[in-house]
Amino acid sequence: MREFHISGQRIADDTPAYVIAEIGHNHGGSLEQAEALFRTAAQAGADAAKLQKRDNRTLFTRAMFDQPYTGRNSFGPTYGAHREALEFGLDEYKHLAGVAAELGIDFFSTAFDLPSVDFLVELDLPAIKIASADLTNTPLLRYAAQTGRALVVSTGGATMSEVRRACEAVLPINRNLALLQCTAVYPAGPEDLNLSVIETFRAEFPEVVIGFSGHDLGPEMSYLAYALGARVVEKHITLDRTLPGTDHAFSLDPQQLAELTAGLGRARSALGSPVKRCSETEAPAVRKMGKKLVAARELPAGHRLTAADIACKSPGDGLKPYQLEQVIGMTLSVPLAEDDAILPDHLAAGDALTALLDSEAATHAD
């Protein structure tokens, strides 16, 4: 069965969406700002708040670390200094783990390198996210998988063969995987999302929970993703979309995050049951607007019914029009006035006919 487990919570086809509020580095290096984002995530109904963890000296070449990085979105004069200014350490992570526990939400992070995996395991966080850029990083995938933590893996910019390779690296070690359709465009328009890939993933990986990591503007496309089978939904969040930083512009503000969680609940309700039948809430309308078999005119007992003797009229609280052919040729055991319902016990065939008509009705109902 397709299942994913995190912090004792089961996520599967028959459950609500597990919503991850991706904070990333939208805290701007401020622990106070990060805590405010955690509280926003919880208040809006998200299941988890997520950060990103990098060991910057390990992750980047010296040339990339030292290259100039200026502009409105920069937090330092070089790219390395910029990344270091946004990086939280052990004290900040411990504080935020306590905040998450207080709020009753999960807290985990993306690991961009092997030391960051070790860092997150030391904190005993319940899951590890692997970013799209590392889908082809099989050493990192295997290293994260062997921790036994739940794994959430994004697939932006990947080919199907690369997705298969990543799953082949993870699944023999760790079956507790959520695979997220993602598009590496920031922001992504509806035409960039390729949500049909969710169905492709579900067919290719029948035991893996599929999700959606969206960089699109607003919550609406996440509802469609859920309808297609995504059960993990990750969206970036911010307190203010005008703040400096590359991710704020396509992040959800607090109101939009609340709309996302509420809308996903509505999407689940709207999907309902896969069994097609007349529900209790439909029954009054079906009775009022449906049709039944009635006498088209006054008919005496002993009369053999013809098509001309029978009309189909509302309300639909008797024999259905599709049962007309079974009734034609039957003999009335009682007289009927015009518009009287024709019922099985009005017909001379008795119990056998009643059983036939009931069986026919049950077949059509199913």
SS3 of 16-84: the string is CCEEEEEEECCCCCCHHHHHHHHHHHHHHCCCEEEEEECCHHHHCCHHHHHCECCCCCCCCCEHHHHHH
Structural domain contains residue 189: yes
Q: pLDDT tens digit string along 112-129?
A: 999 999 999 999 999 999
Mean pLDDT confidence for 1-20: 96
Q: What is the predicted pLDDT for the residue at 355?
A: 59
Mean pLDDT confidence for 158-187: 97
**Residues 103, 198: Cα–Cα separation, whole Å:** 31
Helices 138-145, 114-122: inter-axial angle, 10-degree rounding: 20
Q: Are residues 292 and 266 in the same domain?
A: no
Q: Are residues 178 and 39 in the same domain?
A: yes
Structural domain contains residue 288: yes
> Within a 10 A sphere around the Cβ of 77, how many other Cβ atoms?
12
pLDDT score of 366 more than 90:
no
Q: pLDDT tens digit string along 329-338?
A: 999 999 999 9
Q: What is the predicted pLDDT for the residue at 1?
A: 83
Q: pLDDT tens digit string along 254-304?
A: 999 999 999 999 999 999 989 999 999 999 999 999 999 999 999 999 999
Structural domain contains residue 201: yes
Q: Domain count of the chain? A: 2
pLDDT score of 356 more than 80:
no
Q: Are residues 265 and 296 in the same domain?
A: no
Q: Are residues 48 and 138 in the same domain?
A: yes
Structural domain contains residue 314: yes
Structural domain contains residue 260: yes
Strands 48-53 and 106-111: parallel
Indicate if the alpha-carbon torsion angle 319, 325, 326, 328 is positive or negative.
positive
Q: What is the predicted pLDDT for the residue at 262?
A: 97
Q: Are residues 141 and 168 in the same domain?
A: yes
Q: pLDDT tens digit string along 335-348?
A: 999 999 999 999 98
- HSE of 159, CA atoms in CB hemisphere, 13 A: 3
Query: pLDDT class for 353, splitting at 50, 70, 90?
Result: low
Contact 109, 89 (CB under 8 A): no
Q: What is the predicted pLDDT for the residue at 16?
A: 97
Beta partners for residue 180, in sequence order: 154, 211
Phi then psi for residue 52, to 5 deg, are -130, 135
Structural domain contains residue 277: no
Examine the fold and report which residue of 241, 271, 301 is the final residue of a domain before the chain moves on: 271
pLDDT score of 361 more than 80:
no
Q: Are residues 179 and 86 in the same domain?
A: yes
Q: Are residues 85 and 233 in the same domain?
A: yes
Q: Are residues 77 and 223 in the same domain?
A: yes
Q: Are residues 69 and 31 in the same domain?
A: yes
- HSE of 274, CA atoms in CB hemisphere, 13 A: 3
Examine the fold and report which residue of 212, 237, 271 is the final residue of a domain before the chain moves on: 271
Report the mean per-residue pLDDT for the chain: 94
CATH, residue 159: 3.20.20.70
CATH, residue 312: 3.90.1210.10
Beta partners for residue 214, in sequence order: 235
Q: Are residues 77 and 214 in the same domain?
A: yes
Write out the two tokens for 13.
């086809």
Q: Are residues 196 and 49 in the same domain?
A: yes
Contact 51, 62 (CB under 8 A): no
Q: Are residues 304 and 165 in the same domain?
A: no
Structural domain contains residue 110: yes
Examine the fold and report which residue of 271, 300, 322 is the final residue of a domain before the chain moves on: 271
Listed residue (306, 153, 140, 208) closest to 1, CA to CA:
208
Residue 176 belongs to what domain range? 3-271
Listed residue (234, 53, 220, 95) closest to 156, CA to CA:
234
